Amino acid sequence: GDPSSLGLDEEVKVTKKRQPIAKLDDNRLLSQNGIPKLRKAAKQKLRFKGKGHEFSDAARLLNFYQLWLDDLFPRAKFADGLSMIEKLGHSKRIQTMRREWIEEEKPRLYTGPE
Amino acid sequence: MEQEAVALGHDVQVVDPDVRGYVYSLVTALGGFNGEDADKYILGDDALACLRDIKRWLKLYDEKNNRMDVARCLGEANLVNGDLLPILSIWWDNGQKSKHMTRVALACLELLVPLTWPIEYHSQMTVNHHRHTPYLQQTQAQYKRGILKYGGTNLLRAVIRIALPSMAIPRSERESRDEGILKLMLYLIRNVAIISTNARLAAEGEEEEVSRSATIDAFQAQDAFALILTMCSNVGDDFNMQDVVLLEILFHLVKGVNVDKLFMEEDQRKAKRTDELGDLLQKESLVRREYAKNAPTRHGRFGTMIWVKRDDAKVSTVSGQDVLRDDQTTLQKMDQSKKWNKPRPRRKKEDVVQNNNFNMPTHLSGSASKNLRTFVEEFLDSGFNPLFTHVRKAIEREAERVLDINSRQFFYTVGWFLEAERARRVSQMKKRTEQGKSAKETEPDSYGLVAGALNQETFITLNRAMQSSFDNKEWDDLNAQMRCFTQILLTVQEMALSPIEEDQEIAENIQNRIFYEETTHDRILAIVRGYKDQGFGYLDAATELAHVFLRMLERYSKENADMQIRSKRKAKRKKKAEQLNGQEAAGDEEQNSEDEEMEDAVQVTKERAFDFKRFSAKFCNQSCVDTFVAFTEFYKELNSEQLKRAHRYFYRIAFKQEMTVLLFRLDIINLFHRMIKGPGAIDNTKSVFKEWEELVRQIIRRLVKKIDQRPALVTELLFSKMNNTVYYLEYGQEKQTLSTA
């Protein structure tokens, strides 16, 4: 109200801010713990037995992802986490990254002398 | 203080006491059981005037003010079971000759119809409605019980008797009063067919007595079926205005009834029921066995705890003995013990379609099955064509008596009876072969009995209705239309196999017409792609239609190698024009909108050869896959026919179209794995299980191979595939396209 009082008399209200809830967003997904880790771990650890062991291979694959997701975002159940990530996959940023990852492994085309 | 009492007290006055007083005094004056001769109802002196006054109360108080107070008072005063039904029974026993008594009986009927009128929850309900609806629904169930079975008298028959004189008059000489009486009688029958106990209210043991089986048995015993048949087969001549009510009655009789079970022979049905019991017992023991596998072998406080070692020297702890068994259960338990659930988007609350819901299966007793079956066969023989042709015309004409809901009822009922006709043919064939006659000896029946639903006009109506329901998002309507279309396709398919040459020709013709329009093909594709939260009934209908349509189209286009279709394409003139004067047209909006109008108007219609491969490839995309995945999620409740449907689709995707990549998504793999390996796997004694197991095995084998070939799949497994990379992921190279430069 009064400009001369400089607001010194007014009580300062202190509201405690809530701890922000952790979110599974594209930042988290692209962070060190996210897809980069997944790609590295897949190269090192994901081994399949192949023909005749289809179902155990599938279980191995699913477990691999479940543990990764549990590290990345412990709050969510496996199925929930998967659907959240799937949704993120529609965003521009993630799509560009996905395309890059695919491009990385494509065989280099011969583009003529440089 | 007073307000509090109103809010809390259990004897709150929900109805104006004055109203209650007036209504009660009328009901008392109507008559009653005599003190000396306690089982004899004595009519009051001014009974007729009382009945008319009650009717006036209903009309001028309830209807005018949009309330339900009088109806409630009448329910509490036990008017129907205490007065109206006894009066009707007097009339039936010894009053039919008296003119006065006949008038009284008619006045009773005039009250019965509004009192039994179905009450639905809808969006425009007032507080008053919400207060009275549950009570009235319960009393209506009691009314129905009384009407179906009142002591020793057949009151339905009495009601029909009231209308018989009006029925006997030819239509040209009938007065509006006669038409009114016919209408009253039919609406009462319809109301009786609709009323059922509300699943959300305690029914106090009335479920049996007002169930569909009881209705059907009563209709058979009291000749209501005979009446319906007569009216249906003469709908074109004598009962022009009654077609829609008749349709409604039929709809409410057959909705949700399983055609296959209806057309089984008694012993077959018994065997089936025994099988079902066996199946259920087996299912239950399966559940138990699965539980026993993981059940603790020690007491509940045994206190086991294990560590799951993870990367970076981290550990997770899981408790319980069951987790010792193997990794799989441990990981499952880790997942299960999480408390947080992803918030689901809240679904928009729609008007509850209670009375018109045909997705709920109905079970019939043995005698009811027999009665309904007899009725259905007679209806197919005499009433199908006249009634449905007539109703279709009324719907097309948008006649005044047709309500929106009738179109949905029409399509569902037509579809249901077509299915019934096919089932009847199968059972007749079986009977003949059992009797030792070869098929050639007996004259095969033609499909003329159901021809009314197989003509060009019906297809046009159906197509138009499907398109508009789809555009306007009226999913329940679309559901009924899809079921109807599926049944038409199946009927035509069987017709093509008929030994009668004429039938074959007609079938050929119909198929040609159905498959000729490209818009039909596109619509089916759009329906499958557009699934989102419309509920299981819709999902079932949509996937079945797609399945049947694709298979028949495949066969038909194979047999007719040079099949032509008519495709409508928008002319691409506009784009070119824009490119030409791109600079000038920037500011000229009027010109632009004119262009658009032009574009709408110019549609190029041309014939071109049909290519089935290209068409079925259109079903090969993420949104179609998502629809079928959503369907497969229900695998525990699906029967083997439905599981097969899903199986065929995924087989088509993976091995005919060679687009397994579309299935390489973790949630899909997770679902497939769970279907085979549990928890909650398909019963492995069923033959479908073997097929699914093989399919899933093949898909996983491919997946494993692909991950080795293309490590990018490790990340792509998380997402729906992007259009521009899906081809590379599948084939390891870019699509060969001709350069346009």
ipTM of the complex: 0.85
Question: How far is it between the farthest Cα atoms of chain A?
Answer: 85
Chain B residues touching residue A89 (CB < 8 angstroms): 718-720
Print burial letters for B624-645: b (CB count within 10 Å at least 16), e (below 16).
Answer: bbbbbbbbbbebeebeeebbbb
- Confidence band, pLDDT 50/70/90 cuts, at residue B24: very high
Contact flag B342-A106 (C-beta cutoff 8 Å): no
**What is the average per-residue pLDDT within B176-197?**
93
pLDDT at A89 over 60: yes
Greater model confidence, B12 or B475: B475
β partners of residue B31: B43
Chain B residues touching residue A57 (CB < 8 angstroms): 700, 704
Give me the pLDDT at residue B483, please: 96
Contacts 24+ apart (CB under 8 A), B29-35: B30/B54, B30/B79, B30/B83, B31/B83, B31/B87, B32/B83, B33/B86
Give me the pLDDT at residue B295, please: 78
Three-state secondary structure call for residue B227: helix
**What is the average per-residue pLDDT within B268-294?**
82
User: Which residues does B614 contact at the CB level (< 8 Å), separation at least 6?
Assistant: none
pLDDT at B156 over 50: yes
Tens digits of residue pLDDT in B451-481: 999 999 999 999 999 999 999 999 999 999 9
The answer to whether B160 and B147 are in contact (CB under 8 A) is no
The answer to whether B290 and B682 are in contact (CB under 8 A) is no
Comparing B197-211, B319-333, B627-641, B687-701, the range with the smallest average pLDDT is B197-211
Instruction: List residues of chain B with CB under 8 Å from any CB of chain A.
Output: 310-311, 316, 327-328, 331, 334-336, 338, 340-342, 665-667, 669-670, 672-673, 676-677, 696-697, 700-701, 703-704, 707-708, 710-712, 714-720, 722, 724-725, 728-729
| H or E segment and range at residue A70 | helix A54-72
pLDDT at B404 over 60: yes
Greater model confidence, B347 or B240: B240
pLDDT at B8 over 50: no
Give me the pLDDT at residue A114, please: 42
This prediction has a pTM of: 0.88
The answer to whether B116 and B143 are in contact (CB under 8 A) is yes
Tens digits of residue pLDDT in B298-338: 888 888 888 888 877 788 888 888 777 777 888 888 888 88
Q: B79 vs B87, B159, B192, B456, B711, CA distance in Å?
A: 11, 17, 17, 51, 78
CA dist., res. B211 & res. B205, Å (int): 11
Give me the pLDDT at residue B107, please: 95
Tokens for B719, please give them: 């997402």
CA dist., res. B613 & res. B542, Å (int): 21
Give me the pLDDT at residue B293, please: 78
The dihedrals phi and psi of B151, each to the nearest 5 degrees, come to: 50, -125
Give the rounded percent of residues in chain B with a pLDDT score beyond 90.
47
Average pLDDT, chain B: 86
Comparing A44-48, A90-94, B372-376, B439-443, the range with the smallest average pLDDT is B439-443
Tokens for B89, please give them: 């029974």
Give me the pLDDT at residue A5, please: 62
Q: Is the peptide bond before A20 cis (omega within 30 degrees of 0)?
A: no
| H or E segment and range at residue B646 | helix B640-651
pLDDT at A95 over 80: yes
Chain B residues touching residue A82 (CB < 8 angstroms): 666-667, 670, 718
CA dist., res. B671 & res. B411, Å (int): 35
Count of Cβ atoms closer than 10 Å to residue B11 Cβ: 6
Count of Cβ atoms closer than 10 Å to residue B662 Cβ: 22
Three-state secondary structure call for residue B191: helix
Give me the pLDDT at residue B384, please: 94
- For residue B362, give the nearest of B273, B253, B266 by alpha carbon: B253
- For residue B666, give the nearest of B596, B719, B602 by alpha carbon: B719
- For residue B674, give the nearest of B635, B704, B624 by alpha carbon: B635
Of B670, B703, B722, the CB nearest to A98: B722
Contact flag A102-B725 (C-beta cutoff 8 Å): yes
CA dist., res. B237 & res. B38, Å (int): 48
pLDDT at B5 over 50: no
The answer to whether B492 and B512 are in contact (CB under 8 A) is no
- Confidence band, pLDDT 50/70/90 cuts, at residue B343: confident
CA dist., res. B93 & res. B532, Å (int): 58
Greater model confidence, A107 or B392: B392
Angle at B346 between CA B343 and CA B352, to 5 degrees: 145
**What is the average per-residue pLDDT within A1-20?**
72
- Confidence band, pLDDT 50/70/90 cuts, at residue B585: very low
Q: Please give the interface size between A and B, counted as residue pairs whose CB atoms are below 8 Å apart.
A: 119
Chain A residues touching residue B708 (CB < 8 angstroms): 48
- Confidence band, pLDDT 50/70/90 cuts, at residue B522: very high
Give me the pLDDT at residue B287, please: 85
Rg, Å, chain B Cα set: 32
